[in-house]
Structure 1
Amino acid sequence: MKKYVLLFLSIGVLLTACKKSDDDLTPPDGIDPDPIADVEVQDFMWKAMNFWYFWQADVPNLADDKFPNTDEGIAAYTEFLASESEPGTFFDDQLLYSEDRFSFYSDDYRELTQAFSGISKSNGLEFGLKRFSDSDDVFGYVWYIVPNSDAATKDIARGDLFTGVDGQTLTVDNYIDLLFGDNDTYTLNMADIANNQITPNDKEVTLTKMEGLVENPVFLSKTFDIGGEKIGYLVYNSFTNEFDEDLNDAFGTFKAESVTSMILDLRYNPGGSVNSAVLLSSMIYGTNTDELFLRQRWNDKIQPQLSDSQLTDYFASETDDGSPVNTLGLSKVYIIATNSSASASELVINGLAPYIDVVHIGETTRGKNEFSITMVDDFEGSYIYNSERESEINPNNQWAIQPLVGRNENADGFSDYTSGLTPDIELEEDLENLGAWGDPNEPLLARAIQEITGTTGKRSFEVSMPASVMTNSKMFSVLKDNMILDKPLNLEKSIE
C-alpha cells in the first residue's frame, strides 16, 4: 500500500506523544535497568497507544497521569510493562478498550505492510467457515480462487465444500491449527451437499502457500444488457490502493459501454484503504471536489492539531497517479454486502448515502466504522510507519501495532453503525446454490438485476441452506478487516 506520511511535529507534540523519553525511562538508583530492555516492545506499544489510540481516555492503563514522571512512577511503569512477558497478550489485555473488536498487532511489520499492498503468503483459496448446528464440527465452503495462485491450478472452485484437513475432521477446537497454522501445505478432504445434508466424499485437494502472492482486488467486471438496461457489475474484493488504476480502468470500460445502472459486489470485501474508498465512490457518483465525502473524528489529543483540510475528504477528480477519475455520475447504486463486508466497504455505503440512493442487498454488514494506522518502534517518526524511514525503526523490535485511531462520519455526520448497516433487501447466500461469478442467475446478482429491471418473473429467492459464516479465511490474513488511513497527516501544533 502506498504510504503518505508527512509529520511536522513540534517538540511539544513529541513530548506529549511519547510521555517518557528513553532518558525518562532510565530506572532510578537501586532498580535493575534490564527490565526496560526486556520489555521494549511493550514500552513502544504503550507510548504509541497513549498518544494515538481513539479510546485513550477510556482506558485507565493509558491515562496520562497513570505513571508520574518521578522515581516511583518510573518504577511503577517498568513493573507494569514487565507484568506480561508476551507483547501480544500485553497489547490485548492491558491496552485495549473493552468495545474494541479490531485493533491488532503483528510481530513482523514487513509482513503487515506487504499485506496492505495485496502481497501475502497464501495458497489463493478464500473461503467461509460454518459450524454444523448439531455438533462442534466445522465445514468450509469456497468463496473464490485468487488468480495465478496454487489453488488456481487445482481441481477446486467456488461452492465446493470441505469437512476435513489431512484426514482430520474440522472442529471448533482444531480448525485454526489445521487451516491457519504453520503448515505451508495441507490437504482438504472434500464433501458433497444435497437436500440440506453435507456428506464427506473421497476427493482430496492439496494446496501449498506461495510467498509473495499478489491479489488484484478488481476480481471481475462485466456489463449486462438486460431489458434495455446497461448494467455494470463489479466484484471488488479488497480496497488495495496499489490497484486504483485498475479500478479506474474498469469504470472507464463501464463508461465507454454507456452503463446506466451499477451493481457493486462487496460481499467478501473486508476493507482496506480509505483513499480507495473515496475514489470508488467518486467513480460511482461524481467528481465534485467541493462535496464532502467524510470527516474524521480523532481523540482529544489529535483532533485539535489537525486542520479542516486534514480532517475532511471530498470526492476526487483524479487518482493519486494523476489519471482523471472515470465517473458514471449515478443517482442510484446497488451494493451487494454481507456480514463479511467491513470497514472501507461500509464507508462507501455510508459515504454515498447522503448523495444518492444506495440499495443494499444481502446481509447486515460487520459494523466497523473506525480507521487505523500502522505503528512501529520509530520514536522520531512519532511511531507511524513510513517506508522511507525503515532504517530508523528499532532493529531490536520488529513488532507493529494496528490500533484504531479515529472514526469516519459521512456528510450528514452519521457514523454510528457498530452493529452493522442493515440491508434494504435481505438475502443470504445459499450453500446449495452459490452460483457462478458473473452468472446473471447467481442469486444475489439476480436479485439486484431484478430490482433494476423491475422484472420479477417466476423466480423464487428462497434460501434452502443459509451460508452465514462463523468466520472466514480473510479474518486470519495479516490485513484482516481493517480500514487504513493513507492520506498525508500533518500535525503542526503542540498540545500544552
Structure 2
Amino acid sequence: MTSIPAKALAALLLAGLAGCGSGDYQPAVTPPPVTPDPPVTPPVVEPPVTPPVDPVPPVKPPPTSALDVYSVCMNPKPADPLSGKYFPDKQGTLNDELDFVRLWINETYLWYKEVPTDLKRASYATPVAYFNDLKTPLLSQSGKPKDRFHFTYTTEHWEELSKGVELGYGVNWARNSAPGPRLWQVSAVEAGSAAALAGLQRGDQLLRVDGDDFVNGDGADLVARLNAGLFPVKAGEQHRLAVARAGVEREVTLVSAKVSVAPVQSVKVIATAAGKVGYLIFNEHNSVAEKPLVQAFQQFKDAGVSDVVLDMRYNGGGQVLIASELAYMIAGPEQTAGKTFELSVGNDKADKRQPTLFRSKAVGYAAPDPVKAGTELPYLGLKRVTLLTGPGTCSASESLINGLRGADVAVNLIGEQTCGKPYAFVPASNCGTTYFAVQFQSENHKGFGEFADGFAPTCRVADDFTRAQGDLAEGQLAAALQYRSSGSCPAVAQGTRARSAAPAPVLVPVRPMGKEISIIGL
C-alpha cells in the first residue's frame, strides 16, 4: 500500500473541511460570557430558645423519729463564745418543731395510745401549744385528770431551777384549792431573802398586792396585776404586799432577785426520853441537796440517833437517785442489799430499764459545793422512819416512801395525804424549750406502784402555820414525837377532827409544776 505523505494528508483534510456548507467561510461566533448568579446565602434561623427549667428538689421523706428533727429549729440559738455555750441547733421550720413533739410523744409517752388523733396540726402556732394537747384526756378512778403532770419550761429557766436558783422574793406560799375567797399563807421564808429582810413570817395571810384586793378581787385585768406582783419575771421589780398576822395588818415592799434556795435546812438532834431523834427539813431532791444530806446523816450517826423525822411536807420531788441515796442512809446495807429501790416501767415501745438500786455511794452531782463522786454514804440502819407529809409531798418523795416500804422499812406518815404521783420523766430539751411528759410508772421491790391518789397518813394532822417548822410544839412534829413514843396518834389531832364541823382547809403549796416531778437518768 502506498503511503500518503503527512503534508498531503493535511492538505486533503483542509480541503475537505472547506467543501462543506455553502462554500463561503464563516468564522465561529463566540457566545458572550455567562455571569453566574451569586450564591444565595440561606437565612440564619435561630434555634428555639428553651426556657431554663429549675431542677426539681429532692423530696424530703417525712421524719420517722424525734431524733430526725432534734434541734432543727425555727430560730436556732447562736453560739455564745463568751460564756462557752454552744448549741446543736440547725435552721428549720415550725413544722420541724411540731414533728419533734409529735414523734417524741408517740415514742416515749406512757399513754401514747390515748392521745387524740384528730388534732388539727395546722391550727397550732407554737410547738408548746401543740404539746399541751398531746396527752391523754382520760380521768383516773377518783375523777381527776389521769395526766396532771404535762408541762414545759424554757430550757434556761429549767437549768436555773435545777441549780436551786429561783427568781422571786424568797417567800413560799400555801393556798386553798376550793372555789371562793382566796386564802394564801406564808409557808416558809428563805433566810437572807427580800421576804426575810422585810419581816415576813410563816403563817402571814396575804390580803393585797400593789393595793389590789387579793382575797376577793376578780376580773382578768386584776388577776393579771396580782400575778405580776406575786411572780416577777425579772430581777429588780418592786411590789407591795399587805399581809395580816394575828389580826394585825402590815404592808411590805419587796424587790425581786435570784434566790439560792437551800434544799436541806434546820438539821438538829432532839433529845427525848426514848432516845435521840434526828430532824431535818428536806424540800427538794436536787443536785444541791446531795452534800448537805450526807453531812446531816453523818451528824446523826455521830450523835447516835435511834430515829429520824424528815420534814418533807413541801418536798415536790426531783432526782430519783437522790431519793435512793437517802433511803440507803436511813436503812443501811443489811435491809437493802440486792433489792430494787425503784423500777421504772415504760410503754410497750420502751426498752426494759435496769432497776434503780439503793445507792450506797454518792453520785457526785455538779453543785456549788459538791460531794466527791463515789464517796461511801453514812447510814443508820433504821427499821423505821417518820415523814411529815402533806399534799405537797410528791413524786420522788413518794418514791422514798414506796422504796423503803418495798425493803420492809416501816414508814410512818404524820400530816396529810401525799399528792399521788407514781410517775417519772426524762426531760427533753429542744430548740430552747424543755418538755416534760409522763414516761414511766414507778414500782418498788415488791412490784407495788399504784399510788396515784397518794399515800394516806398514819396520823392525820393539819399543817400548823402558827409555829415555825422544827419548833417542838409545831403540830406535825409534836405529833410525830408522840406517835414515836406511844404508838398512837395524838388525842388533840383526833379531837380537833371530831369537834370541828368545818375543818380548816388543807392548803397546798404554790409552786411550778417542775417542782413536783421524779427525774430519772437516761
Where on the TM-score scale, by shorter chain, does this alignment land: which range? 0.7 to 0.9
Q: Secondary structure at the match of 1:333?
A: strand
Q: CA deviation at 1:319?
A: 0.7
What is aligned with 2:375?
Answer: 323
Q: 1:309-355 CA deviation, whole Å, 9 max, x = no partner?
A: x4201112111122211111100111111111100111111111122
CA distance in 2, matches of 1:110, 1:19: 21
Q: CA deviation at 1:289?
A: 4.0
The residue type paired with residue 84 of structure 1 is Y
Whether 1:18 aligns to 2:66 is yes
Q: Secondary structure at the match of 2:309?
A: strand
Aligned pair in 2 of structure 1 residues 172, 359: CA closer, same or farther (>3 Å)? farther
The residue type paired with residue 44 of structure 1 is F
User: Can you give the 5+ residue segments of structure 1 that lack an aligned partner in the other structure?
Assistant: 1-14, 25-35, 67-78, 194-198, 378-396, 490-496
Aligned pair in 2 of structure 1 residues 148, 48: CA closer, same or farther (>3 Å)? farther
For these two proteins, the number of residue pairs brought into alignment is 408
What is aligned with 1:407?
Answer: 441
Q: CA deviation at 1:39?
A: 4.0
CA distance in 1, matches of 2:489, 2:447: 40
Q: Secondary structure at the match of 2:176?
A: strand
* Identity between Structure 1 and Structure 2 (%): 27
Question: 146, 151, 154: which one pairs with 1:104?
Answer: 151
Q: CA deviation at 1:41?
A: 3.2
What is aligned with 1:204?
Answer: 251
Whether 1:144 aligns to 2:184 is no
Whether 1:371 aligns to 2:424 is yes
Deviates most, 340-349 or 434-443? 434-443
What is aligned with 2:414?
Answer: 361
Q: CA deviation at 1:186?
A: 2.1
Question: 287, 291, 295: which one pairs with 2:343?
Answer: 295
What is aligned with 1:346?
Answer: 398
Q: Secondary structure at the match of 1:404?
A: coil
Q: CA deviation at 1:467?
A: 4.9
What is aligned with 1:438?
Answer: 470
Question: 302, 308, 330: which one pairs with 1:284?
Answer: 330
Aligned pair in 2 of structure 1 residues 457, 371: CA closer, same or farther (>3 Å)? closer
Question: 423, 427, 430: which one pairs with 2:461?
Answer: 427
CA distance in 2, matches of 1:416, 1:185: 45
- Conserved in 2, the CA contact under 8 Å of 1:283 and 1:325? yes
What is aligned with 1:58?
Answer: 114
- Give the TM-score of the pair, scaled to structure 1: 0.76
Q: How does 1:106-145 map to 2 (within 5 A)?
A: 106=153, 108-130=154-176, 136-145=180-189
- Conserved in 1, the CA contact under 8 Å of 2:198 and 2:252? yes
Q: CA deviation at 1:37?
A: 1.7
Q: 1:385-419 CA deviation, whole Å, 9 max, x = no partner?
A: xxxxxxxxxxxx31221111111101111111111
The residue type paired with residue 103 of structure 2 is K
CA distance in 2, matches of 1:209, 1:40: 37
- Conserved in 1, the CA contact under 8 Å of 2:391 and 2:418? yes
What is aligned with 1:466?
Answer: 504
Q: 1:31-66 CA deviation, whole Å, 9 max, x = no partner?
A: xxxxx82344323211221211111122243xxxx9
- Conserved in 2, the CA contact under 8 Å of 1:241 and 1:275? no
Q: Secondary structure at the match of 2:203?
A: coil
- Conserved in 1, the CA contact under 8 Å of 2:239 and 2:254? yes
What is aligned with 2:81?
Answer: none
What is aligned with 1:244?
Answer: 290
Question: 457, 466, 482: which one pairs with 2:517?
Answer: 482
Aligned pair in 2 of structure 1 residues 330, 224: CA closer, same or farther (>3 Å)? same
Whether 1:91 aligns to 2:126 is no
The residue type paired with residue 222 of structure 1 is K
CA distance in 1, matches of 2:97, 2:239: 33
What is aligned with 1:186?
Answer: 239
Q: Which runs of 4+ in 1 moved over 6 A?
A: 455-459
CA distance in 1, matches of 2:331, 2:262: 23
What is aligned with 1:7?
Answer: none
- Conserved in 1, the CA contact under 8 Å of 2:483 and 2:490? no
The residue type paired with residue 98 of structure 2 is Q
CA distance in 2, matches of 1:457, 1:275: 32
Higher Rg: 2
Q: Secondary structure at the match of 2:239?
A: strand
- Conserved in 1, the CA contact under 8 Å of 2:69 and 2:100? no
Aligned pair in 2 of structure 1 residues 368, 38: CA closer, same or farther (>3 Å)? same
Q: Secondary structure at the match of 1:300?
A: coil
